[in-house]
Amino acid sequence: MTRTHDFVGIGLGPFNLGLACLTEPLRESGELDGVFLEARDRFAWHPGMLLDDATLQVPFLADLVTMADPTSRWSFLNYLKESGHLYPFYIRESFYPLRREYDDYCRWAAERLPSIRFGRRVERVEHDGAAYVVTTSRGEVFRARRLVVGIGTSPRVPECLRPLLDAAPGDRPAVALHSADYLAHRERLQRLGSVTVVGSGQSAAEVYHDLLAASPDHGYRLTWLTRSPRFFPMEYTKLTLEMTSPEYGAYHRRLPLETRERLAREQRHLYKGISGDLVDAISDLHYRLRVSGDGPRTTLVTNTSVVGGRWDGSAYDLDLHHDETGEAFGLRTEGLVLATGYAPTVPAFLEPVRTRIRHDPRGRYDVAADYSVDLAGGEVFVQNAEEHTHSLLAPDLGMGAYRNSVIIAAMTGREVYPVEKRIAVQTFGVPEHLRRTDPAVVGR
């Protein structure tokens, strides 16, 4: 009989890797036995965007474990110590690790955890009445009482442009890609006569900056298109950062669906913008190139939606709409980088157990306070798939350890790692002490 694990973790991005680190002491003590199944052959964090000087957007304390257990052997500081980088990091005096460094840190942790199985894509999940039965791409079967689904988000591609990405570039001189695959195609893009970046977030800005810096050596025409009214910076002020807190997540989850959806549109600048430093670095680079006489052949346009596109045999012909002037216009480009973000999906492998999962009216997971999504409660948990319920906390590395502490408490029935109830100075919603209960004055 196949062994029944206490849980199977599906996918090994930073969030389930953090869970593997935090549950390792429980696995060693025999309290909680989990196994993690990852499709890739080794840990790799956004390999297409590991640009040399890119850093994390959150401080190093947002590592896999520290916010839950500062004494953990899996901390970023311990990785620095073991890899001999602690003093250089100390001298560097920056809270923000390089993205490459974070990727290496996660691999350092993953390679030391016996609970991880690489090269296993989960293809099917069933329930045999007693446990979940997970089948992998190798035909192996894992049984477990619970699941933790941490498969991350998938590149979002505008429907009207999907055919351009699906077409195999083959011997085409041109290339269209999502920013998730940027580094794999960087050199090819630089050999083209024209490149266009579409998007308003950090990835779009990083790709544009990278191509702009190389443009004097290659001479391509570089265009940056965004639907946003401006190239807006991410907001980092401290009282706003307090919204990345357990109590804001709990408050947001209690709001009506329509209100949450309105907030998702209105809160874009909180976590979908560009770091202020990078916005300025792009402007400064323009100035330097202009002074050095290498004024780049580049165009930056806001308020512009890409409404269609086709391959015309030698380039991509894009249909554009200016959302303020109402004008329709177009652009031909040989290279196209869609930095159009990522979206969570309900994976097909869960279809056989669909009836055990709670869904909201939009077909998304209906996520409970403890991140479980199953009708029974406490059987199927999700990581980074709850932005529509818990808001901007979902993809934030700084909240990964907190979410894992909640999930571990739900699986063990005890608070193995303290779960903070309140961290913000402000109150979200009506403060209890100001709530009016006397019907005579309510609503006055």
Q: Which is nearer to ligand FAD, 342 or 365 (CB)?
A: 342
Of residues 392, 70, 379, the one with CA closest to residue 243: 392
From 140-148, 149-157, 247-255, 356-364, give the range in contact with ligand FAD by CB under 6 A: 149-157
How many other CB atoms are there within 10 angstroms of residue 89's CB atom?
19
Of residues 69, 139, 79, the one with CA closest to residue 105: 79
Size of the site for ligand FAD (CB under 6 A): 31
Interface map 208-247 toward ligand FAD (x if CB under 6 A):
----------------------------------------
- Asked if residues 306 and 320 have their Cβ atoms less than 8 Å apart, the reply is yes
Q: Which is nearer to ligand FAD, 102 or 316 (CB)?
A: 102
Q: Which is nearer to ligand FAD, 41 or 159 (CB)?
A: 41
The tokens for 234 are 């991410």
Rounded Cα gap, residues 373 and 354, in angstroms: 11
The tokens for 1 are 């009989």
State the nearest-atom distance from the C-beta of 131 to ligand FAD, in Å: 18
- Asked if residues 35 and 8 have their Cβ atoms less than 8 Å apart, the reply is yes
Which of 7, 9, 10, 68 binds ligand FAD (CB under 6 A)? It is 10
Which of 8, 64, 65, 151 binds ligand FAD (CB under 6 A)? It is 151
Interface map 396-435 toward ligand FAD (x if CB under 6 A):
xxx-------------------------------------
For 100-114, letters b (16+ CB in 10 Å) and e give ebbbbbbbbbbeebe
Rounded Cα gap, residues 363 and 443, in angstroms: 35
Q: Which is nearer to ligand FAD, 54 or 225 (CB)?
A: 54
Q: Which is nearer to ligand FAD, 13 or 199 (CB)?
A: 13
Which of 5, 8, 15, 76 binds ligand FAD (CB under 6 A)? It is 15
Beta bridge partners of 276: none
Rounded Cα gap, residues 93 and 70, in angstroms: 20
State the nearest-atom distance from the C-beta of 10 to ligand FAD, in Å: 5
Q: Which is nearer to ligand FAD, 172 or 185 (CB)?
A: 185
Strand segments (E) across 2-104: 4-10, 34-37
Half-sphere exposure of 325 (CA within 13 A, CB side): 9
Of residues 351, 380, 370, the one with CA closest to residue 131: 380
Rounded Cα gap, residues 334 and 318, in angstroms: 11
- Residue count of the chain: 444
Which of 8, 19, 22, 37 binds ligand FAD (CB under 6 A)? It is 37
Which of 5, 9, 13, 296 binds ligand FAD (CB under 6 A)? It is 13
The tokens for 292 are 């050095």
12 sits near ligand FAD (criterion: CB under 6 A): yes
Chain center to CA of 396 = 7
Q: Of residues 157-186, which lie at the interface with ligand FAD (CB under 6 A)? A: none
The tokens for 128 are 């045999």
Structure letter (DSSP) for residue 393? G
Q: Which amino acid is at 17?
A: L
Which of 7, 8, 9, 14 binds ligand FAD (CB under 6 A)? It is 14
* N-term to C-term CA, the chain: 66
Which of 33, 40, 264, 409 binds ligand FAD (CB under 6 A)? It is 40
203 sits near ligand FAD (criterion: CB under 6 A): yes
State the nearest-atom distance from the C-beta of 384 to ligand FAD, in Å: 3
State the nearest-atom distance from the C-beta of 196 to ligand FAD, in Å: 20
Rounded Cα gap, residues 173 and 49, in angstroms: 23
Which of 196, 340, 384, 391 binds ligand FAD (CB under 6 A)? It is 384
Interface map 46-75 toward ligand FAD (x if CB under 6 A):
x--x------xxx-----------------
Which of 38, 104, 210, 387 binds ligand FAD (CB under 6 A)? It is 38
Token pair 């391959």: residue: 311
103 sits near ligand FAD (criterion: CB under 6 A): no
Beta bridge partners of 154: 343
Interface map 318-357 toward ligand FAD (x if CB under 6 A):
------------------------x------x--------
State the nearest-atom distance from the C-beta of 64 to ligand FAD, in Å: 10
∠ Cα 114 122 349 (to 5°): 145
Which of 196, 340, 383, 391 binds ligand FAD (CB under 6 A)? It is 383
Q: What is the contact surface with ligand FAD in residues (CB under 6 A)?
A: 10-16, 37-40, 45-46, 49, 56-58, 121-122, 150-152, 203, 342, 349, 383-384, 395-398
